[in-house]
Amino acid sequence: MSDLLTLAYEATTPTPWRALPTKWDGREVEWGGFSTFAFQTTLRLHARTECCERCGTLDPPTMAQGSMYALPGQPVDVWATTRSGKPYLRARTVDEGERVRMLGRLTASRCTRCGLDTVIDRDGDMWTLDESDYGPEGSFRHG
Q: Got the DSSP string for 53-117?
A: TTT---SPPEEEEEEEBPPTT-EEEEEEE-TTS-EEEEEEEPPTT---BPSS-EEEEE-TTT--E
pLDDT (tens digit per residue) in 1-60: 444 444 444 444 444 578 999 999 889 999 998 887 544 555 555 554 568 999 998 888
Q: Specify the pLDDT at position 45.
A: 54
Confirm whether 58 is domain-assigned: yes
Number of domains into which the chain is organized: 1
Question: Which of 33, 109, 23, 126 lies closest to 69 in space, CA to CA?
Answer: 23
Which residues constitute the domain of residue 21?
2-72+99-134
- The pLDDT, as a whole number, for residue 44 is 52
pLDDT digits (tens, 9 = 90+) for 89-126: 889 899 998 888 887 889 999 998 999 999 998 888 99
Per-residue model confidence (pLDDT) at position 103: 77
Q: What percent of the chain has pLDDT over 90?
A: 38
In a domain? residue 19 = yes
Please report whether residue 112 resides in a domain.
yes
pTM of the model: 0.71
Asked if the model's pLDDT at residue 67 lies above 90, the reply is: yes
Residues 6+ apart with CB under 8 A from 14: 112, 113, 114, 115
pLDDT at 18: 84
Q: Is residue 40 part of a domain?
A: yes
Q: Is residue 141 situated within a structural domain?
A: no
Within a domain: residue 88?
no
